[in-house]
Structure 1
Amino acid sequence: MTYHPQQIVARGPRAVAEAAASAIDDDAFLEGATYSILEEDEDKNIWRIDAFPTTEEESERLQEVLADYADLKLTTEQLADADWLAMALSGLPPVRAGRFFVYGAHDRGKRPLSAVNLRIEAGAAFGTGHHGTTVGCLMAYNDLLKKHRFERVLDVGAGTGVLAIAAAKTGTKFAVGTDIDPISVRISNENTKLNQAKARFVWANGLNHKDVRQDAPYDLVFANILARPLVGLSHSIRGALKPGGVVILSGLLRTQERFVKGAYLSHGFKVVRRIHRDAWCTLVMQKV
């Protein structure tokens, strides 16, 4: 049976929407599900979850999880048989995060001369620069660059490669990214060529790949994934960093901040900064 793409939308109060998003993150069957959460109406305290299942089974499970939250209003909409992802991306405006300007091919004429311009074509990978987690990482990195340069950078869960490419465009000599999705690795390497950046991406689960080990220890690690994998990788990330090295953690909701922060504090990190954007949190922590 052919699956017809659909969009699932859930609207409700912030606390309920964040709890539902956490439930999606914690569901093993939905580990690879694509969704976003954002504030739709500040005055009315309405937050919105948009989910884009890729199979009938994933759609059913998403609706089951969201239906557990009575205060969420749930709707589904069939999407036309078209490249809806590309169509959606073509309507997204470019993003400015400090010195970084992230844009797609449709906005190449808007590139400011004063910015570090990053052309990112997403395809089926995560990380156009519009999501609160990606913007948070770029903002955190932009501020770190005011005082430091990072010779060796690792990007765990690279998606489109935007973070490792940003590092390579700002003086990093060795920038490597990993992803468990081979499509993301292909897209990241394509984006590297588009940006004429010296970064490379490998298909890997965790930090044990030889191309990751050979450049260790790192000055900086990006990890923009999900809360539970962030916690699970805390020991490996510490091992990959040099003393005094920095990790930028994101992909976690504000409600998950204490959970993730606690894992890294217990492994000998200290908090340098945190950034909240929409429902998302970005943590900057240093190995001590």
Structure 2
Amino acid sequence: MSHSPVQIIARGSRVAAETAAEAIDADPMLEGATYSILEEDEDRDVWRIDAFPTTEEESEGLQARLAEHPGVTVVVETLADADWLAMSLSGLPPVRAGRFFVYGAHDQGRVPPNTVNLKIDAGAAFGTGHHGTTVGCLLAFDDLLKRESFERVLDVGAGTGVLAIAAARTGSRVAIGTDIDEPSVRISNENAKLNQADARFVHASGLNDAKVRGHGPYDLVFANILAPPLVALSQDIKLALKLGGVAILSGLLRTQERRVTAAYLSRGFVLERRYRRDAWSALVLRRVG
């Protein structure tokens, strides 16, 4: 079935919006859906969900999940027949996260000195550095680098590759990224070349893939995906890490912290720190067992 590009916009209180977002995450038919959640008006407690379905079925599913929540209002807007992703990115400001500065081609002239500058082209991939989950991962990584180094780094669900590229640019000898989406792998490798970073990205459906396993065990694993796969991958991420290694996990809402943390504590991890931006959370866990 052909699909006219649309943007689904839902607004409600923080509790209502987070509950609606959890319903999207819990629906297996919407596992690959792209959406964001952020605070739109702090004084009035208005939070906003923006979703960009890629099929008619996904659009119907997103609208159905959001309509189940009476505290959420939903509007569907038709997008013009254009490269709306590129157009939206052209208006995004650069992002500073600790020592890292993430920017697009349109901000070439705004790069500050004395920062690790990451020029990222999103194309059709997710993870420009502007999303709260990616910023949380970069802030967590920046803080860790102040006291330790990571020779081998794995980025699970790499998207644009910004996290593995950040690792390669800050001294990691091995920086491997994986994604189940082939266009994302291509875009990540292009971004690595653009940033002159010795990071490599492979198409792999799991951490047991030989292209992933052969470079382990890793000192650090990034996994900026969603809460359900984070839980499902807890044992695989443990086995990919050396003892004492660190996992930086994101793609989860604040309300999902307990569920994800519990899965990793049961696998022999300890929670060292959490970072929160908008409704999103990033967790830093260390393997101790």
TM-score normalised per structure 1 = 0.99
AA matched with 1:102:
V
Q: Secondary structure at the match of 1:33?
A: coil
Instruction: Determine the C-alpha separation between the residues in 2 that align with 1:57 and 1:133.
Output: 26
| Residue 210 of structure 1, CA deviation | 1.2
Instruction: Determine the C-alpha separation between the residues in 1 that align with 2:3 and 2:233.
Output: 34
| Residue 71 of structure 1, CA deviation | 1.0
String of CA shifts for 1:200-221, please: whole Å, max 9, x gaps: 0111111011121111110000
Which residue of 2 is the match for residue 262 of structure 1?
262
| Residue 165 of structure 1, CA deviation | 0.1
Give every structure 1 segment of 4 or more consecutive aligned residues whose post-TM-superposition deviation is greater than 2 Å. none
Q: Secondary structure at the match of 1:4?
A: coil
Which residue of 2 is the match for residue 75 of structure 1?
75
Which residue of 1 is the match for residue 235 of structure 2?
235
Q: Secondary structure at the match of 1:178?
A: strand
Which residue of 2 is the match for residue 156 of structure 1?
156
AA matched with 1:128:
T
Which residue of 2 is the match for residue 285 of structure 1?
285
AA matched with 2:10:
A
2:36–2:49 CA contact under 8 A, matched in 1 = yes
Which residue of 1 is the match for residue 217 of structure 2?
217
String of CA shifts for 1:86-130, please: whole Å, max 9, x gaps: 000000000000000000011011111210000000011110111
Which residue of 2 is the match for residue 182 of structure 1?
182
Instruction: Determine the C-alpha separation between the residues in 2 that align with 1:161 and 1:73.
Output: 34
2:2–2:55 CA contact under 8 A, matched in 1 = no
| Residue 2 of structure 1, CA deviation | 3.4
Instruction: Determine the C-alpha separation between the residues in 2 that align with 1:254 and 1:245.
Output: 24
AA matched with 1:150:
F
Q: Secondary structure at the match of 2:205?
A: coil
AA matched with 2:124:
A
Instruction: Determine the C-alpha separation between the residues in 1 that align with 2:111 and 2:149.
Output: 24
AA matched with 2:184:
S
2:225–2:250 CA contact under 8 A, matched in 1 = yes
String of CA shifts for 1:3-55, please: whole Å, max 9, x gaps: 21011111001101001101111111111111100000101101000111111
AA matched with 1:239:
L
Q: Secondary structure at the match of 1:24?
A: helix
AA matched with 2:71:
D
Which residue of 1 is the match for residue 273 of structure 2?
273
AA matched with 1:103:
Y
Instruction: Determine the C-alpha separation between the residues in 1 that align with 2:287 and 2:82.
Output: 47
Which residue of 2 is the match for residue 66 of structure 1?
66
Instruction: Determine the C-alpha separation between the residues in 2 that align with 1:108 and 1:25.
Output: 36
Q: Give 1:129-140 correspondences, 5 Å limit.
A: 129-140=129-140
Q: Secondary structure at the match of 2:154?
A: strand
Instruction: Determine the C-alpha separation between the residues in 2 that align with 1:170 and 1:104.
Output: 20
Which residue of 1 is the match for residue 97 of structure 2?
97
Which residue of 1 is the match for residue 48 of structure 2?
48
Find out whether 1:6 has 2:2 as its counterpart. Answer: no
2:119–2:195 CA contact under 8 A, matched in 1 = yes
AA matched with 1:276:
R
Query: Which runs of no fewer than 5 residues in structure 2 stay unpaired?
Result: none
Instruction: Determine the C-alpha separation between the residues in 2 that align with 1:33 and 1:238.
Output: 27
Paired residues in the alignment total 288
